[in-house]
Amino acid sequence: MPDEELEPRAKRIEAEFPPGATMPEELRRLCDYLDATGYPISGYMRLRPEGSTLQDYFGEGSDAWKDLAGFGAGPDGSILALWLNDSTRDTRVAPVVHLGSEGDALKVLAKDFRSFLELFAIGYNEIGFDDLAEPPKEPESAGALRIWLEQEFGIIPPTVGAGIVEAANQVHPGFASWVDQMSR
């Protein structure tokens, strides 16, 4: 059953992006797909606005949230975001990162949003905490998403996500250090 909201999900998410940041087209289309189909989409993850949550994450007086365009969350309140770091402010090529709700599990998940879609479609329950070197326990949660991604973008995900994360961290190292520095 589709989620019933007054405004499209993409518009609500993008409204909380940092000033000047625009949503990647793949994310906009994923939001539209979710608005039409409803949950589950992949594991326990939700696509939702995260701007105010990111402001709270870094605390009053910090502008670090302006370097992150939040677009989703896990069941524990962990955040998925595009990291608009010094090397790229372009959301189309920005890495996708995970910020654990307790300041843990700080990691780069994918080198860009399209790579994130490959990882997301594998079907991990909690993408920031599951062992991505192993297949997910319930891959069927992302079954419909995999079909849609192949039809829309020609994306066929691997069976495990470790390679996607390893490649992303080679291109975008230092995320955990950046969060630690910005949280002081």
The whole-angstrom separation of Cα 157 and Cα 178 is 29
Is 55:21 a contact under the CB 8 Å cutoff?
Answer: no
Q: pLDDT value at position 30?
A: 98
In Å, how far are 22, 33, 39, 93, 142 from 156, measured between CA atoms? 26, 17, 20, 19, 12
Q: pLDDT value at position 1?
A: 42
Q: pLDDT value at position 87?
A: 64
The residue among 154 and 52 whose pLDDT is bigger is 154
Average pLDDT rounded to a whole number, residues 82-97:
87
User: What is the residue-averaged pLDDT of the chain?
Assistant: 92
Q: For 131-151, write each residue's pLDDT tens digit.
A: 999 999 999 999 999 999 999
Q: Write the DSSP string, 45-72.
A: -EE---HHHHHHHH-TT--GGGGEEEEE
Average pLDDT rounded to a whole number, residues 7-30:
94
Average pLDDT rounded to a whole number, residues 35-41:
94
The residue among 20 and 145 whose pLDDT is bigger is 145
Residue 54 structure tokens: 């990111």
CA 161 to chain centre: 14
Give the whole-number percent of the chain exceeding pLDDT 70: 95
The whole-angstrom separation of Cα 155 and Cα 112 is 14
The residue among 155 and 184 whose pLDDT is bigger is 155
Q: For 64-89, write each residue's pLDDT tens digit.
A: 999 999 999 999 999 999 999 766 67
Residue 130 structure tokens: 């599951």
Sorted by where each begins, the domain ranges of the chain are: 9-178
DSSP state of 96: E
Is 13:28 a contact under the CB 8 Å cutoff?
Answer: no
Confidence at 184, pLDDT banded by 50, 70, 90: low
pLDDT above 50 for 3: no
DSSP E strand boundaries for the chain = 46-47, 68-73, 79-83, 96-99, 107-110
- Other C-beta atoms closer than 10 Å to the C-beta of 95 total 24
Helical segments of 92-161, H only = 113-120, 143-153
